Structure 1
Amino acid sequence: MASASDRPASRHRDGGRAQWHSPAMTRRIRRRYLGDRLFRAAGLAALTAAGLFLLLLVGNIAWQARTGFFQTELRLEVAIPADVAAGETPGSPGFGAAVDAYPWRSVALSALRERFGADSRGDLASLRGLISRGGAAVALRAAVRDDPTLIGRRATLWLPASEPADQWAKDRDAATALSERQVGWLESFAAAGDLKTHFNGRFFATGNSRDPALAGIGGAVIGSFLTLLVTLAVAFPIGVFTAIYLEEFAPQNRITDFIEVNINNLAAVPSIVFGLLGLQVFLNTFGMPRSAPVVGGLTLALMTLPTIIISGRAALKAVPNSIRDAALGLGASRTQVVLHHVLPAAMPGMLTGTIIGMAQALGETAPLLMIGMVAFIVEVPASFTEAATVLPVQIYMWAELPEAAYRAKTAAGISVLLIFLISMNALAVYLRNRFETK
């Protein structure tokens, strides 16, 4: 039998058990669990919606870009005139100049007229709409340069189709600007096996062009590469050493506080402001070449510096103080502590911040528009001082053109840009994990 002193405790325990199992407490617990399930469901719904929007965006771009990587060509039997070289010897400078200056488009039109027996002015105008304005001339010129023995002979060559013919070959059901007569001619090409659509390697090797068949992103890709090289060469060492000084050596006073506040503010400044700064300083003050990768790289370096400095300082702060204390206790100097111990440990975070900043610079357009990199550039740049454009600006220029082929090439350029950006972010993750594991 329980004693009198035990009964109050027993009643307390029984009362607590009854309170936890009371209807009111059961309702509160159910509401709490319901709120937890609703919160998890809301998070899952948000993640699902974000994933669906991402898939919709990528799928839309991929669908529009599916035709941008391909080009249609027509096979024609062409009679190469005997007066092309104008008496010049193959291999001489005069021979190349004579071949370049010859009116090759008229040669291609003559081949079309001969194939279909068209003589009227209307038929000739319709035939002009089947082949590329400049692509046919480029193909004939290249064929004669590669094989001068074709001069004065007949040769079967593949010539790029015009933009409407190219769109018709890729999607027969799509509405085009072709007439019924032109569609009939193209169907005769297809029936004879003289029409093909193949992967357009020229798209990755050439610069911009007014002719969609000749336009490519090769010049823009090289321009972006040269610009990012300048950006990396300037921003990385300055950003790293600035972060080291501010975090490891600078005294804590009003001057350093002022510098830190302004660095954080610069990271939030709109990118076009850096373009105005580059226009005023590098072009107007120092007279550097307009539209050059060196100017674009310096401008983007100014924009990227705050990101590298902030990420570098965060990486240095993450290094345990025990590493510093141990090195100092063994007699190392402050410089040796930083360079031999702290910096290697912080390098993964610094590399991650640098690559993310470079990816941001790769996708920028507004600063480069201000320094003239929106110019129409046909040739692929070969140096840091030649006129060039970059991939985002090239995409921006194509998006404003009315031809359907340029819309497809715009989507194809966006696809290439996204691949570069994803690759750079994947590289940042890999380097961070690699160095952290080591």
Structure 2
Amino acid sequence: MASPNPNAYDPAAAAAAEGTAVSTRTRTTADIVNAGLKGRYRAEKRFRMYGVIAIAAALMMVTTLFVSIVSKGYTAFAITSISLPVTVERDLVANAEGEITDRSIAFANYAAPLRAALEAQFPEVESRSERRALYEILSDGASFQLQRMIEENPDLIGREFTMTSPVSSDFDVLNKGQIDLTVPENMRRVSDAQAGWFEALQERGLIETTFNTNLFTNGDSRQPELAGIWGAVVGSFYTLMVTLLLSFPIGVAAAVYLEEFAPKNKWTDLIEVNINNLAAVPSIVFGLLGLAVFLQVFGLPRSAPVVGGLVLTLMTLPTIIIASRAALKSVPPSIREAALGVGASKLQMITHHVLPLAMPGMLTGTIIGMAQALGETAPLLMIGMVAFVVDIPGGPMDPATVLPVQIYLWADSPERAFVAKTSAAIMVLLAFLVFMNAAAVLLRKKFERRW
């Protein structure tokens, strides 16, 4: 019998060998994939952990910021007042002929009866230096408050009545426990004698702590106990109104033209690139532009809300244009085609169909732009809105300041009481910003349509 040829092809053996090789390769690939999956899962867990740590750190920093602001500013919402029995004698407000006129009332020395009322509480204070130290308990605005009371009600002349007025900022801070009386006397603004007099007034029930309405009704002042944010709030209102009346129609019109009418060529591409670049330009550059154009060329009044509104309009226009174009792009083409199919012109199609559907997105972008403008300081500093303005502005052409600039001014003041005022103003500004952003979110949720 012939022996088998070792070089002959054996189909069965070849198939078995190939199956073994395939099985080996399959097991090796599966092991590699499984090992890789374990590494991927570990990397995914690490990535999630990094994200949680980042969010926790951000929340911790934001919480620290808010706690710091609130802890420093909540005391500014309360004010310390003193109530004294005051008598304004007729001789004090009468003129040389013994007559009481509007002019004689306006130019009377109202500090004298207030000091006399305070001296009556401490008859043992006799020396001139002690009396000057005693007078420091009263606010400088108390005499003006008494003048207004007499002007509004002249029948108070010659009669004793109780007048309640703020104490000076040093004693307001003392009443709030922010002055340590254990430190040496020469290292604090309130002496031991003044602290003793103030404690005596507290024991007699003449000192009270009430809600600080001055913070919301007064303009700026050099005296912390009299300073308020109302002038800055009114200035911010006029500035934002000018910004809104200019930026919204111009921004929407520019977005409609670029999205619906402008031909697609290199010039429109250049305009689009410049609009996107302007959205990232530092705000102080717009302030320099306003200083050079609106003040020096056109001669508009410095520190006026109308100039601030013009500068903020230039700054917010890119934001509004970009948001408006995105809202127009979100309207489905079928809306346009359907309107044109029933015979509407292109202008009718845009005004009657596209714009109403895109308006919620446009309004959302506008509100966000207004919130950004409300918090701006640098461009307004360049046009002079950093001026010290006491009077409440009566219109957009009157000198005014805005809330962020008011915060900047108070933060630069040396008096300790302005620290609380600064934090309180920041709290009010943040409340406005949160309200405006919440309005934008609610507006988008209410009117947004999903196609």
TM-score (norm 1): 0.92
Asked whether the equivalents of residues 279 and 371 of structure 1 are also in contact (C-alpha less than 8 Å), the reply is yes
Partner in structure 1 of residue 146 of structure 2: 140
The alpha-carbon deviation at position 424 of structure 1 amounts to 0.6
Q: Is the 8 A contact 1:311 1:350 kept in 2?
A: yes
- Code of the aligned partner of 1:249: F
Q: Which deviates further from its counterpart, 53-62 or 79-88?
A: 79-88
1:128 equivalent in structure 2: 135
Q: 69-78 or 390-399: which moved more?
A: 69-78
1:151 aligns with 2:157: yes
The residue that corresponds to 2:41 in the other structure is 33
1:71, CA displacement in angstroms? Answer: 1.0
Match runs of 1:350-365 below 5 Å: 350-365=362-377
- Give the structure 2 partner of residue 64 of structure 1: 72
Match of 2:119 in 1: 113
2:95–2:104 CA contact under 8 A, matched in 1: no
In terms of Rg, which structure is larger?
2
CA contact 2:323–2:361 (8 Å) conserved in 1? yes
Q: Per-residue deviation at 1:173?
A: 5.4
Task: Give the secondary structure class of the aligned counterpart of 1:411.
Answer: helix
CA contact (8 A) 1:84 1:151 kept: no
Matched, 1:104 2:110: yes
Of 195, 207, 212 in structure 2, the residue corresponding to residue 183 of structure 1 is 195
Moved more, 37-46 or 11-20: 11-20
Give secondary structure in 2 for the equivalent of 1:157.
strand
Report the CA distance between 1:30 and its aligned residue: 2.4
1:427 lines up with 2:439 in the alignment: yes
Of the structure 1 ranges 198-207 and 318-327, higher mean CA displacement relative to structure 2 is found in 318-327
- By how many angstroms is 1:407 displaced? 1.1
Helix, strand or coil: the match of 1:103?
A: coil
TM-score by length of structure 2 reads: 0.89
Aligned counterpart, 2:88:
80
Residue 352 (structure 1) shift: 1.3
Match of 1:379 in 2: 391
Residue type matched to 1:60 in 2? S
Q: Deviations over 1:367-410 (max 9, x none)?
A: 11111111111110111111111111111111111001111101
- Which residues in structure 2 correspond to 1:143-292 (within 5 Å)? 143-171=149-177, 174=180, 176-292=188-304
Q: Matches of 1:84 and 1:326 in 2, distance apart?
A: 83
Q: How far 1:81 sits from its partner (Å)?
A: 2.0
CA contact (8 A) 1:170 1:197 kept: no
* 145 and 336 in structure 1: CA distance in 2 versus 1, 3 angstrom threshold: same
- For the residues of structure 2 that align with 1:278 and 1:156, how far apart are their CA atoms? 52
The change in CA–CA distance for 1:422 and 1:6 in structure 2 (over 3 A counts) is farther
Letter in 2 for 1:262: N
Question: 1:320 and 2:332 equivalent?
Answer: yes
**Structure 1: where are the runs of 5+ without partners?**
none
Q: Secondary structure at the match of 1:68?
A: helix
Identity among equivalent positions (%) equals 51
Q: Is the 8 A contact 1:80 1:155 kept in 2?
A: no
Say which of 52, 56, 62 aligns to 1:48.
56
Q: Does 1:367 align with 2:374?
A: no
Deviation at 1:64, TM superposition (A): 0.7
Q: Tell me if structure 2 keeps the 8 A contact 1:381–1:388.
A: yes
Q: Deviations over 1:43-64 (max 9, x none)?
A: 0110111011001101101111
Q: Residue 343 of structure 1 aligns to which amino acid in structure 2? A: L
Distance 2:350 2:14 in 1: 68
Q: C-alpha deviations, 1:175-196, integer Å up to 9, x for none?
A: 5511111111111111111111
Give, in angstroms, the shift of residue 351 of structure 1. Answer: 1.0
Provide the C-alpha distance between the structure 1 equivalents of 2:305 and 2:249, rounded to a whole number of angstroms. 19
C-alpha deviation, 1:255, in angstroms: 1.8
Contact kept, 8 Å, 1:232 with 1:301, in 2: the verdict is: yes
Shift of 1:11: 6.9
State the number of aligned residues. Answer: 429
Give distance in 2, aligned partners of 1:4 and 1:321. Answer: 66
Distance 1:12 1:111, change over 3 A: farther
Counterpart position of 1:403: 415
| Contact 2:320 2:369 (C-alpha < 8 Å) held by counterparts | yes
**Cα deviation, residue 65, structure 1:** 0.4
1:380 partner SS: coil
Aligned-partner residue type, residue 88 of structure 2? I
Q: Does 1:345 align with 2:345?
A: no
Residues 192-229 of structure 1: CA deviation (Å, up to 9, x unaligned): 11111111112111111111111100000000001100
RMSD: 2.4
Residue 198 of structure 2 aligns with an amino acid whose one-letter code is L
| Equivalent in 272, 284, 308 of residue 296 of structure 1 | 308
SS of match in other structure, 2:208: strand
Query: Alpha-carbon deviations, 1:161-182, whole Å to 9, x = none?
Result: 1111000111165455111111
Structure 1 window deviating more from structure 2 (235-244 vs 335-344): it is: 335-344
Q: Which amino acid aligns with 1:302?
A: L
Q: Distance in 1 between matches of 2:176 and 2:412?
A: 22
Label 1:44 to 1:86 Cα distance change in 2 as closer, same or farther (>3 A): same
